[in-house]
Amino acid sequence: MPEVLKAPLVVEFPFTRSLGPVQSAFLTGLRERTVLGVKTTDGKVMVPPVEYDPVTADELRDLVEVEPTGTVTTWAWNPEPRRGQPLDAPFAWVLVKLDGADTGLLHALDAPGPDAVTTGMRVRVRWAAERTGAITDIACFEPYEGAAAEAEPAAHDGQFDDAVSGIVAEARLDYVYSPGRAQTAYINALADRRTVGERCPSCRKVYVPPRGACPTCGVATTDRVEVGPAGTVTTFCIVNVKAKNLDIELPYVYAHIALDGADLALHGRIAGIPYDQVRMGLRVEPVWTEGGRYPDHYRPTGEPDADYDTYKELV
Amino acid sequence: MREVAIVAFAQSDHLRTTDELSEVDMVMPVLHQVLAQTGLKTSDIGFTCSGSSDYLAGRAFSFTMTLDGVGAWPPISESHVEMDGAWAMYEAWVKLLTGEVDTALVYSYGKSSPGSVRDVLTRQLDPYYVAPLWPDSVALAALQAQALIDAGETDEPALAGIAARSRESASSNPHAQVKGSVPQGDYEVQPLRKGDCPPVGDGAVAVILAAGDKARELCERPAWIRGMDHRIEAHSLGVRDLTDSPSTRLAAERAGAFERPVDTAELHAPFTSQEVVLRKALKLGDGVAVNPSGGALAANPVMAAGLLRIGEAAARIHRGESDRALAHATSGPCLQQNLVAVLEGDAR
């Protein structure tokens, strides 16, 4: 079996998320170097604060200001920081109970090594130089010698000028994608200007492009079958919306095409004919461009149109 | 309540990479095996439910492609959860309890090899306060492990013992990915060493459920589901007591696990430290065989490893090696959500 195809695949998306009133106050507070907590129904102070009580589900709105200093409740030494994590050099992940809070905040602790970190150690917030209203406005924690403050946290109205109402959460995941056996064979054959489907050994249907299995019979499709090159337009649409990074003149026609010998229509662009003359039953053939690994589009063959009965099962 | 049993169980070999296999290539042989055990065809199955996550392999709608392997056209009665297959089985179980259907096919799969699962799993975390810091799955488990060590509930040698016992048990599991004597290795995230962490790999699992006499007809010794329940912890890690798992305990109580002792427990503990938490929450005594399959430390196809636990427990009942077994599945960081099923065989 030839080597399966593989290619890097990056999935990236900037999620824009709106904030509830408590989240907005907390993240705006971080921008202003103020750490807010919220009082739960039973009087505990949660940091980071949430909109609803985790036990009773009551709406929580009573904000208090806690200290930027606190105590490590558990930690884990990270010898090889990964992309996106708070620090580039090895650091400790920590849960920190800030002075005045009853719950732990997850963040990073900048320390010289694991021997310098213990549960119970005192730490304080190191603020990021540029703050925007995000959890990363806390750059990290750093060791701190002072004792815990004794005073009860004071109430805070949560009001700041120019409060943030949302965050943009960048998400990026990297993959090395492989389409698997069936689609590798299909893509390799296309680069050789041949369209190769796979036949179901049970119902004899030929699937193009093949996905490796017959969805009717639930068995592997293994027999390779060359189809086309010509085929029949089974249905089509006229595209009037310009797609990003697509240099094709509007309007153009996108069609389902049943290649001769195939039992499933694939889709492709139709050209070489005015858009308003494309019709069901039109006979078309693929057009490859120089060096292209797949057909650029399909164009009319000039044959008479196919009879509806010959392709009605594929519409 | 209607009697429902697991009557068949199949799984793939669990492998570090499966480049040549698309998802359906990986799942289909397992579906064929599980159906063959009962002699049922797809058209005989009343309900099909699957569990998976497209984030693992970065392949959009992979769950619709694996349906090709079931033979889902013309359309079958079918559902999918973006969760471990254990939760797909919960849905199928409820469907059988309604009396609407008599049989169900449940499968799940995970193909983690194309991506970096440690990073992928950060995307399930709180998007406001946690995900922007990209704390990976090993880091979060390590915070829990340190909390257990600080509380005196375990230490590094004890964790190494759990790792060694699991991989030793896996020696008799032909499908396991990591088995036999494996060095603990360096710290991945201290205090967890490589040996404390699950292998990353690809795999698939399937079970068939059947009700009442149908179950007896399809299986010599059905694994009757006496109870099943799932519960969840508070969202924020900093709110939880990481050394305990009240959600597991509650699920077990609701599933009837504490009514009589079990002889076997298949626990979905991807990290050694999590077995410590689960043993305590489930009040498992020394006489209970824990993870005779090797557990998730031997093979951890994400989204399948929980259903694998249920399947392995059921298979021991099928084989007559267990009379009453507990199966557990987990989801999310540090045992965030937990499912417990109690299975029994008829008296021999």
Q: Which residues contact B119 (CB under 8 A, 6 or more apart)?
A: A82, A83, A84, A173, A174, B134, B136
Distance from CA of B104 to the nearest CA of A (A): 16
| Residue A151 pLDDT level (bands cut at 50, 70, 90) | confident
The rounded distance, in Å, linking the Cα atoms of A161 and A29 is 10
CATH 2.40.50 placement within chain A: 228-314
The rounded distance, in Å, linking the Cα atoms of B251 and B165 is 26
Q: Is the pLDDT of residue A1 over 60?
A: no
Give the number of other CB atoms < 10 A from CB of residue A156: 19
Q: From B73, which residue of chain A is nearest by alpha-carbon distance?
A: A216
Cβ of B128 under 8 Å from any chain A Cβ?
yes
Interface of A with B in 51-110 (CB under 8 A): 54-55, 73-79, 82-86, 93-95, 97, 103-108
pLDDT in tens, A36-87: 999 999 999 999 999 999 989 999 999 999 999 999 999 999 999 999 999 9
| Cα radius of gyration (chain B) | 19
Distance from CA of B262 to the nearest CA of A (A): 31
Cβ of A113 under 8 Å from any chain B Cβ?
no
Q: Is the pLDDT of residue A2 over 80?
A: no
Out of A9, A75, A79, the one facing B143 most closely (by C-beta) is A75
Across the interface, whether the CB atoms of B189 and A78 are under 8 A apart is answered yes
Out of B57, B123, B132, the one facing A134 most closely (by C-beta) is B132
Interface of A with B in 265-304 (CB under 8 A): none
Cβ of B139 under 8 Å from any chain A Cβ?
yes
Across the interface, whether the CB atoms of A105 and B238 are under 8 A apart is answered yes
Q: From B23, which residue of chain A is nearest by alpha-carbon distance?
A: A180
Mean pLDDT of B103-124: 96
Class of domain A228-314: mainly beta
- Degrees, nearest 5: CA angle A191-A196-A200: 150
Mean pLDDT of B44-48: 97
Identify whether the C-beta of residue A263 lies closer than 8 Å to the C-beta of residue A200. no
Interface of B with A in 143-182 (CB under 8 A): 143-147, 150
Q: Which helix (H) or strand (E) holds A172?
A: strand A166-177
Out of A23, A74, A105, the one facing B143 most closely (by C-beta) is A74
* Domains of chain B listed by start with CATH number: 4-115+199-218 (3.40.47.10), 117-197+225-343 (3.40.47.10)
Query: Considering the entire predicted model, what is its pTM?
Result: 0.95
Across the interface, whether the CB atoms of B135 and A19 are under 8 A apart is answered no
Across the interface, whether the CB atoms of B133 and A180 are under 8 A apart is answered no
Mean pLDDT of B87-115: 97
Query: What is the complex's ipTM, to 2 decimals?
Result: 0.95
Q: Is the pLDDT of residue B335 over 70?
A: yes
Q: From A4, which residue of chain B is nearest by alpha-carbon distance?
A: B20
Top residue of B118, B196, B239 to mutate, by most chain A CBs within 10 Å, is B239
For residue B177, give the nearest of B30, B44, B76, B300 by alpha carbon.
B300
Q: Is the pLDDT of residue A149 over 80?
A: no
